[in-house]
Amino acid sequence: MVSSEFQRYPVFLPEYCALTCTEAAAVIVDNASRHESYAVTALAVHGLMESWNDSVLGEKINRIQMIVPDGQPIIWALNLFYSLGLSFKIPGPTLTLEVLKQAEPLGLKVFLYGSTADTLTHFQNHIATTYPNLTVVGVHEDRFREATHEEDELDIAKINASRAHIVLVGRGCPRQEHWVADHVGKVDAAMLAVGAAFDYHAGKLTRAPMWIQKAGLEWLFRLIQEPRRLWRRYLFTNVQFLYQLFRHKFLLRKS
């Protein structure tokens, strides 16, 4: 069993773990099995820069107990700053499957929060087919707006009443990061902000080939799939990420 007290490595602001996917999932499942309120996000370049640009998210991002590096550029940054020699990344879709795989022998309960009704149906079917010993005890379609206080209280009560061990959150970045950070200590489960994992495992999107992922070009593959929605995100965040990467490296070298 991997201890929950693992070392964390700041990149600009978020503090990433350097666990393997298997190790990270083991920590998550351990907390989930005990109904610990435990927040996790697979944070890529977009989420990293959102936390840098948004002071509210920046203030709360490290309330999330586990931040895993989603994307090869984050791995490059961790290696550049800390000489960790990491070769792996932990994308949200991959982490999701590893958590479900490790949770299945324990017969844990899963709650799906976010996305559309159609995607939730297909994702739920995927879980039932692939992990028959798991039980999806509830789903909640995204409102695509922030909940009122009264709605949020009802959501929390619904999730806790279901006795879910794991809450998979697919609201898109950074809304899902705000949600899991805000619900630490309120939701009695491990909460995973995994974004597009819902769409991938519902069969709505296709993962990039491994050679594209290793080259750090998965963002380009996704851009080709959804150009209208993603072009602005990648144009601005990728350029800003590179600028801050070299700026921080220069400041580290001077210090």
SS3 91: coil
In the predicted structure, residue 28 carries a pLDDT above the cut 60: yes
pLDDT tens, residue by residue, 163-216: 999 999 999 999 999 999 999 999 999 999 998 899 999 998 877 777 777 777
Q: Using CA atoms, how far apart are residues 94 and 201, in angstroms rounded to an integer? A: 10
Q: What is the DSSP letter of 132?
A: T
Question: For residue 179, what are the CA distances in angstroms to 65, 147, 190, 247?
Answer: 13, 10, 13, 30
Number of independent structural domains in the chain: 1
Q: In whole angstroms, give the CA distance from residue 48 to residue 12.
A: 8
Say whether pLDDT at 68 is over 60.
Answer: yes
**Domain for residue 26, yes or no?**
yes
C-alpha 112/C-alpha 137 separation (Å) is 8
Is it the case that residue 150 has pLDDT exceeding 60? yes
Q: Give the confidence band of 232 by pLDDT, cuts at 50, 70, 90.
A: confident
28 and 162 Cβ atoms separated by less than 8 Å: no
The answer to the question of residue 98 being in a domain is yes
Phi and psi at 68, nearest 5°, equal: -100, 150
The answer to whether residue 242 sits within a structural domain is no
Q: Is residue 40 part of a domain?
A: yes
Indicate which CATH number applies to the domain containing 166: 3.40.50
**Closest to 205 (Cα-Cα) out of 98, 122, 96:** 122
What is the distance between the alpha carbons of residues 255 and 251, in angstroms, rounded to a whole number?
Answer: 6
Measured in degrees and rounded to the nearest 5, phi and psi for residue 188 equal: -90, 65
pTM across the whole model = 0.91
Cα separation, 192 vs 64, whole angstroms = 10
Asked whether residue 175 is domain-assigned, the answer is yes
In-domain check, residue 125: yes
What is the average pLDDT across 91-107?
97
Helix H or strand E encompassing 58: helix 55-60
Radius of gyration over alpha carbons of the chain, in Å? Answer: 18
> What is the domain range of residue 30?
8-201
Does residue 110 belong to any structural domain of this protein? yes
Q: pLDDT of 240-250, one tens digit each?
A: 998 999 888 77
pLDDT at 2: 60
Residue pair 9/205 in contact (Cβ under 8 Å)? The answer is no
Domain assignment present for 102: yes
Give yes or no for a contact between 201 and 115, defined as CB atoms under 8 angstroms apart. Answer: no
Structure tokens at 164: 């879910």
**DSSP-assigned letter for residue 12:** S
When the pLDDT of each residue in the chain is averaged and rounded to a whole number, the result is 92
